[in-house]
A and B are shown apart, each in its own frame.
Chain A
Amino acid sequence: MFDFISVNAFWTVLLIAHALLAVTTLGALTHQALSVAAPVWQPAGQRGFVTRFRAVQGAGYASAVCVLWVATFILGAWIYTKYRIAIRIPLERTGYWKTLGFFELKEHITTFGIVLLPAYWYFWKNAKNPAFDSARKWTTILLASMCWFAFLVGHVLNNARGFGS
């Protein structure tokens, strides 16, 4: 493969794909979390942007969020092998300890997110069962918070030493 594309370009493409998948997951989960945290009981119609943003049918996002989280996770886990050598070691030498610490926390959080997915999916596929209402709401909010944390940490790390490094 590296006859056609440089090693640097390969990892950059992978990192961009990972980032795009993360943005898509973030958008879907934020819509869904707002739809359960502050549901809109009447058709949004001509109301404001925020009302329309939270007026989505959350159940329709569940399978897509699961697929997106797993795909983002797999790409991230792949890039992580490169990160450990090419990114972390130089950042250690330059003393970016807090950035690295947050990235360590991000890896734990993404694993915690992936193990929530079967229950999350099950709750949303049984959205009419009131017994799952509270668990569905808080699991979705937790997943969305995890996604935001992971996204922001990844973004900051990329600013510290990312594309082309």
Chain B
Amino acid sequence: MTPATKSKASSLASSKAFGAFAIVFAIAAPIVYVACELDNWPLFTFHPGTNRVDLGWAAPHANEGPAMYWYGWTATTLIVSALLGLVASWLPIRVSEKIPLFLIWLLPLPALAILAYVLMPFWTK
């Protein structure tokens, strides 16, 4: 790591605004991801058989193999969560300091339980 990179990392680590961004980003992402998965909101659909990309949700095209939505769900999640994190970084410190930190590691657990339930056809076949 160069001295310039080290100094940038150190200023990021001491930035309360970055802290608020990172915390809200981590809290929002599992909620956004589950919503994307349940309501089918991929930013784009990828068709690996033809390397075609469609904006938003698209059904598999006839004779072109399956469609993949995970890339699109991930992209939607990253963008929406980053926007929410950006809003949080503008909050006054006295407000952002009150965000409960346990939500960061707790929320992924029920979110994963929901996603595992959605995968029920795989468990029962």
Contact = CB atoms under 8 A, between A and B. Distances in A.
Interface of A: 63, 77, 80-82, 84-85, 88-89, 95, 97-98, 100-102, 104-105, 107-109, 111-112, 115-116, 118-119, 121-122, 125-126, 131-132, 134-135, 138-139, 141-142
A135 B33 CA distance: 21
B122 A116 contact: no
B115 interface: yes
Nearest to A149: B112
Nearest to A116: B26
Contacts of B10: 125
A34 B121 CA distance: 36
Contacts of A122: 13, 18-19, 22-23
A135 B25 contact: no
Contacts of B26: 115-116, 118-119, 139
A90 to B, nearest CB: 13
B96 to A, nearest CB: 12
In order of increasing CB-CB distance, the 10 nearest A-B pairs are A101-B122, A125-B13, A115-B29, A118-B22, A135-B101, A138-B105, A97-B125, A119-B26, A119-B22, A81-B48
A128 B26 CA distance: 21
B112 A105 contact: yes
Contacts of A105: 112, 115-116, 119
6 contacts: A77-B71, A85-B48, A102-B122, A105-B112, A118-B26, A125-B10
A108 to B, nearest CB: 5
Interface string B107-123: 01001100110010111
A142 B108 contact: yes
Residue of A109, A115, A132 most packed against chain B (CB within 10 A): A115
Given A115-B78, A122-B19, A107 B25 contact: no
Contacts of A104: 119, 122
Interface in B1-36: 9-10, 12-14, 18-19, 21-23, 25-26, 29-30, 33
B40 interface: no
Contact of B102 (A80, A118, A135): A135
Contacts of B57: none
Nearest to A124: B13
Nearest to B22: A118
Contacts of B108: 112, 116, 142
B101 A111 contact: no
Contact of A101 (B23, B65, B66, B119): B119
B81 A80 contact: no
Contacts of A85: 48-49, 65-66
